[in-house]
Structure 1
Amino acid sequence: MQKQISVLFLLTFLTFSVWSCHKNDPAPVKTFHFYDSLHADGYLRSYLLNLPPDYNEGNNFPLVIALHGFAGNAGQMETDYKLTAKSNSAGFVIVYPEGVPSDGLLGLRTWNAGGCCDYAMHHNVDDVKFIRLLIQKLTEKYKIDPKKIYATGMSNGAMMTYRLGCELSTQLAAIAPVSGTLITRQPCEPARAVPLLHIHSSLDTTIPYPGGPGMANYYFPPVDSALRVWAGINGCIPTPNVITDAPLYTQTEYIDCTNNTSTQLFLTKDGGHSWPGGFQARPAADEPSKAFDATDLIWDFFSRYELP
């Protein structure tokens, strides 16, 4: 009788263990690249998600949040900057959120980065809340490592990247704005030091590196001031070092930062308001710099950092 009870207990335990394992294992995905949406702050927000080819076989994937520029969208950013190809080869999940479209005929999409831009700023759209909810949804639904979430963006998306670094510092391991600047209305006070890689062109007149009027007659603070603010946030020595002075770009870095973070600038001497190494966004747009591939540079930078 005791032997029968033991056998019955063993069978019950094994059955429960197998059921629990299958219950907690996520079902294999069949679609790796698709648009989806969520509700945030009264808006239905859209985004494009790409899972790497080895997603079903792996675990703990890093996530990159890629923010398009003024009047851009997810598909444009994905195509022009070759980000999906890079994320697939590197084994990252990448998501392209989209700004709220304006109520004009063109429905231009923008981000509320604080002092810019257009519909999103004028209507005080809570884009930080949208990204916070998006991170929550993706980390709950997909095999994403919450310690390895990063943000990058172009132009107005770069400004929004800075704002996310200010307000979502406990969720972002590092940020990499391209051709933008820090333009938040409120003081930037992250809860932790956040590694920063900034990429810009000295020839950019849309968002001028020295600061001043640019796109749509907005006034943009100098990029150097943004970097000094971030170096202070990261506890770096206040004077940057020149690491590389090449024919087409200069690399500077603030050193001795808190918790092995860094604040870096890659300033190109060619190109303009563009993504180095990417495609020209439209016929009248600035030619991208040929100094380096910004996508490769950003991935190398992100791969160095994770949240504690």
Structure 2
Amino acid sequence: MTILRAPSPGLGTVLGACWLTAALAACGGGAAGGPTTPAPAPPVATPAPPPQPSGSAGCGSAAKLATGEQTVTSDGIQRSYWLELPAGYDRHKAYPVIIGLHWRDGSATEVRTWNNFFGLKPLYGNNAIFIAPQGRNAGWANDGGRDIRFMRALISQVQQGVCTDPQRVFATGFSFGGMMSNAIGCEMGDVVRAIAPMAGSLWSGCGNGTHRVAAIFDHAMDDNVVPYAAGEAARNTFVARNSCSATTAPIGNNGCVEYQGCSAGKPVVWCGHATGGHWPPAFAAGEMKAFFDRF
């Protein structure tokens, strides 16, 4: 029996078919009018997160503290301070903090009512938070560093309770308050940026902290309560700590001088004046604010 076979396609036929198949694929393939593969959808853009408020832990949330007397426990003892928030407080605004320290036998109440935090509050308006701590036995003996620990506790409480700028915490005070300002500058440079002691000394102690602060000092030569030499000794301590030279240059309009060559960002200014006794001069607030505004 003879078996009939269909004729095999020639090489030309096979190549032609392959060429046609490739051409169809390159043009979208398949039969005319057939379905095409859809292009992939573009990735969905992830929305940017809302801007986060800068500043302390208290920023962005409702204030946990309000203007008025506050208490904080330090060394197992409940201690008090007056907190003054600006009118129209904004929880998203990181405010500088100014600590005002009272004189011997003075009080936090007198600091805020006598002349509005040594005249600073009117200059800041509603752009700063003010604190007036109350010293034990109406003073700042700082026995065993207890008042330094109190300052750390109250600053931490304020930073957690309201929106502050941790890089702009300043301390000032008069007489015993000036001495405590110096003690803060000696030990709390990790928390406080600058100090402004008036008629102060180192009689509240001067611990050997590793962080430095900027400092502006005010003292009258005829001070008969805290000797001028005691103020100079405090100044000299910070001049040495901040690696300043002995050269000075005039600054401001009230006879103040700034030491030259100090460590970057740690200037030292001395406002020594001939008269005025044991009392803050009228120009003190303006010089302090101008100094604080540098940071």
* TM-score where L is the length of structure 1: 0.71
How do residues 81-160 of structure 1 correspond to structure 2 at under 5 angstroms? 81-83=115-117, 85-86=121-122, 88-89=124-125, 91-101=127-137, 109-113=138-142, 121=143, 124=144, 126-160=146-180
Corresponding residue SS for 1:56:
coil
* Of 100, 103, 114, the match for 1:69: 103
* Of 244, 268, 271, the match for 1:263: 268
Corresponding residue SS for 1:205:
coil
Matches of 2:124 and 2:292 in 1, distance apart?
Answer: 15
1:131-183 deviations in Å (ceiling 9; x for gaps): 00111111011101111111111111111111111111111110000111123
Shift of 1:267: 1.6
Shift of 1:194: 1.2
Shift of 1:226: 1.8
Corresponding residue number in structure 2 for 1:5: none
Matches of 1:191 and 1:66 in 2, distance apart?
Answer: 24
Matches of 1:110 and 1:196 in 2, distance apart?
Answer: 22
* Of 57, 65, 69, the match for 1:35: 69
Shift of 1:81: 3.1
Asked if the contact 1:189–1:233 (Cα under 8 Å) also holds between the matched residues in 2, the reply is: no
Matched, 1:253 2:288: no
Corresponding residue number in structure 2 for 1:297: 287
Matched, 1:233 2:241: yes
Asked if the contact 2:60–2:91 (Cα under 8 Å) also holds between the matched residues in 1, the reply is: no
Matches of 2:240 and 2:135 in 1, distance apart?
Answer: 30
RMSD, matched Cα:
2.9
Shift of 1:127: 0.5
Matches of 2:179 and 2:93 in 1, distance apart?
Answer: 31
Corresponding residue SS for 1:225:
helix
Corresponding residue SS for 1:230:
helix
1:240-279 deviations in Å (ceiling 9; x for gaps): 4251697xx53222111101321111122232111222xx
* Of 175, 179, 190, the match for 2:195: 175
Matches of 2:104 and 2:257 in 1, distance apart?
Answer: 27
Matches of 2:127 and 2:203 in 1, distance apart?
Answer: 32
Mark the runs of 5 or more structure 1 residues left unpaired by the alignment. 1-12, 102-108, 114-120, 211-221, 278-291
* Of 252, 277, 280, the match for 1:275: 280
Corresponding residue SS for 2:228:
coil
Asked if the contact 1:32–1:52 (Cα under 8 Å) also holds between the matched residues in 2, the reply is: no
Asked if the contact 2:251–2:258 (Cα under 8 Å) also holds between the matched residues in 1, the reply is: no
Matches of 1:57 and 1:169 in 2, distance apart?
Answer: 26
Corresponding residue SS for 2:110:
helix
Matches of 1:196 and 1:100 in 2, distance apart?
Answer: 25
Q: Give aligned-pair identity as a percent.
A: 26
1:11-58 deviations in Å (ceiling 9; x for gaps): xx99xx99x99xx842268x8531111111132101000011131265
How many pairs are equivalent?
Answer: 242
- The aligned amino acid for 1:234 is N
Q: Which has the larger radius of gyration?
A: 2
Matches of 2:126 and 2:294 in 1, distance apart?
Answer: 13
